[in-house]
Amino acid sequence: MPTLILVRHGRSTANTEGLLAGWTPGVALDERGAAQAAGLPGRLAGLPLAAAVASPLQRCQETLAPLLAARPELPFHSDERIGECDYGDWSNRKLAELSDEPLMTVVQQHASAAAFPGGESLRAMQARAVEAVRGWNERIEAEHGADAVYLMCSHGDIIKAIVADALGMHLDLFQRIAVEPCSVTAIRYTPLRPYLIRLGDTGELGGLAPHEVPGGSSEGSSGGSCDDAVVGGGAGAP
């Protein structure tokens, strides 16, 4: 079965403003995110990609633009099933404000029971994303063979949920996983089990140092405070 390369989109304007973007239109890469995207073709050089699949949201499309320009022959597809979680009424709100919402404790500690008002549940988000991966695995293998490698560009919570499924982890534990902007995660699927072979690889170590986040708190490489994960994925290293 194929190997899946998961790329989180580059740092966005919502990341740096401390907003939970969700499906809010017009959220683009910031200057650092554009630079991260520009470096992606070099980081992936030598990988014989069979196809690229992306969330339809602007920040993912912009992240893959340099790669597609460098590899014009690469088949490209958009798939709404790997679009960001629909945070409903929480969309485009400050994460600092949302931290006081009672639901945030559920999101952090009992994710499988968390459903966003006016949006979707984290359980439904994971189900559609994993279904997309299963479907693309079958299609890529049928068209390119069992040793094929393909890429998906998606969002922090989506990638964390896919990784949790690959590791056989309950969704309630997925907040223990962290993926930086424009990081690369790789999962090799086999008929019996998946293997996580890379997780959140940015090719740099700067994200390991504590740094300031919007709102004035500090964070480590997890992208959240000492206690909580950042819903949506966080802004990464400065």
- For the entire predicted model, the pTM comes to 0.87
Distance, in Å, from the CA atom of 219 to the CA atom of 207, rounded to the nearest integer, reads: 10
pLDDT by position in tens, the chain (length 238): 899 999 999 999 999 999 999 999 999 999 999 999 999 999 999 899 999 999 999 999 999 999 999 999 999 999 999 999 999 999 999 999 999 999 999 999 999 999 999 999 999 999 999 999 999 999 999 999 999 999 999 999 999 999 999 999 999 999 999 999 999 999 999 999 999 999 999 886 565 555 555 544 444 333 344 466 666 556 565 5
* Within a domain: 153: yes
List 187's β-bridge partners, or say none: 4, 196
For tokens 């401390």, the residue is: 18
Q: What is the pLDDT of residue 218?
A: 44
What is the number of domains present in the chain? 1
* Within a domain: 49: yes
* Within a domain: 227: no
122: phi then psi, degrees, rounded to nearest 5: -65, -30
38-53 pLDDT, tens digit per residue, is 999 999 998 999 999 9
* Within a domain: 148: yes
Q: Quote the tokens at residue 121.
A: 């549940």
Q: N- to C-terminal Cα distance for the chain?
A: 37
Distance, in Å, from the CA atom of 115 to the CA atom of 103, rounded to the nearest integer, reads: 8
Burial profile 204-232: b = 16 or more Cβ within 10 angstroms, e = fewer: eeebeeeeebbeeeebebbbbeeebbbbb
Instruction: Give the CATH number of the domain where residue 25 resides.
Output: 3.40.50.1240
List 8's β-bridge partners, or say none: 154
Distance, in Å, from the CA atom of 147 to the CA atom of 226, rounded to the nearest integer, reads: 40
Q: What is the pLDDT of residue 174?
A: 96
> Which 8-state DSSP code applies to residue 222?
T
* Within a domain: 58: yes
Distance, in Å, from the CA atom of 120 to the CA atom of 32, rounded to the nearest integer, reads: 30
Q: What is the pLDDT of residue 203?
A: 84
Helix ranges (DSSP H) in 110-183: 122-144, 156-166
* Within a domain: 232: no
Distance, in Å, from the CA atom of 213 to the CA atom of 230, rounded to the nearest integer, reads: 10
Angle between helices 156-166 and 122-144 (to 10 degrees): 70
Grouping H, G, I as helix, E, B as strand and the rest as coil, residue 205 is: coil
Distance, in Å, from the CA atom of 223 to the CA atom of 214, rounded to the nearest integer, reads: 11
Residues of the domain holding 196: 3-219
Distance, in Å, from the CA atom of 238 to the CA atom of 229, rounded to the nearest integer, reads: 17
Q: What is the pLDDT of residue 238?
A: 56
* Within a domain: 234: no
* Within a domain: 228: no
Q: What is the pLDDT of residue 213?
A: 52
154-197 pLDDT, tens digit per residue, is 999 999 999 999 999 999 999 999 999 999 999 999 999 999 99
Q: What is the pLDDT of residue 171?
A: 97
